[in-house]
Amino acid sequence: MLRGEVALVMATIVPFLMPHLFHALLTLALVVAFAPAHAQKPDPIPKPETYLCPHSDATAIDCYLDAVDHLYTMCRNVKSIEIIEFGYEKSDEGVNGAKTTYCIDKHGITLKRIYQSAMRQAGKNNAVVEALHSLHDYWSASLAGLKWVPGESDVQYKARTDEPYGIFRARAMLVRSALEVPKTPAAATAKSPAKSSAKAPATTKSAN
């Protein structure tokens, strides 16, 4: 008897509730579908320059000098992983060194863009231009030198690939020192000799 009464009540109430239940479910679905798009929007991926130069007051040359060290470290770490995985002897066989090659190509493009900005900042300061150019060439050669040289021991390889850090710092100091040298105007080097302010001695008239 009880089951029959429950069935009767359900048969009476459900048709009445169905329209309201449908609208409630539709509203909930819309909230779930559209709310996260705004509430959980991921942060934009920073540009390489922002990632390498987080300080807003850094100059283009500052960014370049920091990036040289940082990007070399990234590719050196990638090479270390390949060496751990394949061993020194096979770390460059076939595609075993592909990750390092990709790292060098990718970050070579990144650093070149920052390097060009640094050169624009250097302008006609030849000392800074030459120091930046020398550092950039050495950085490129250091990345090529991440390959293992046959016959090297583990200690020798790590010492050789650690050496560029000291040279990076030394050449960065040359760049900063060149920036601190005050510019001498071209006109200052071609000044005409100052006129003497001394008066010529008066000539005495001879007596007639």
In this prediction, residue 34 has a pLDDT band, given cuts at 50, 70 and 90, of very low
At 52 the pLDDT is 75
In this prediction, residue 57 has a pLDDT band, given cuts at 50, 70 and 90, of confident
CA 63 – CA 55 distance, rounded (Å):
9
Asked if 63 and 117 count as a contact pair (C-beta separation under 8 A), the reply is yes
CA 77 – CA 103 distance, rounded (Å):
10
In this prediction, residue 180 has a pLDDT band, given cuts at 50, 70 and 90, of confident
Of the two residues 50 and 124, the one the predictor is more confident about is 124
Asked if 128 and 178 count as a contact pair (C-beta separation under 8 A), the reply is yes
Give alpha helix (H) positions in 123-205.
Answer: 126-144, 154-180, 186-189
At 3 the pLDDT is 53
C-alpha torsion 56→57→62→64, nearest 10? 30
Confidence check: pLDDT of 203 > 70: no
Of the two residues 139 and 190, the one the predictor is more confident about is 139
CA 87 – CA 82 distance, rounded (Å):
7
Give alpha helix (H) positions in 87-125.
Answer: 98-122
Could you report the per-residue pLDDT of 122-157, keeping only the tens digit for each? 999 999 999 999 999 999 999 999 999 999 999 999
pTM equals: 0.65
At 135 the pLDDT is 96
Asked if 52 and 67 count as a contact pair (C-beta separation under 8 A), the reply is yes
In this prediction, residue 58 has a pLDDT band, given cuts at 50, 70 and 90, of confident
Asked if 119 and 61 count as a contact pair (C-beta separation under 8 A), the reply is no
Residue linked to tokens 């900063």: 176
Could you report the per-residue pLDDT of 78-126, keeping only the tens digit for each? 999 999 999 999 999 999 999 999 999 999 999 999 999 999 999 999 9
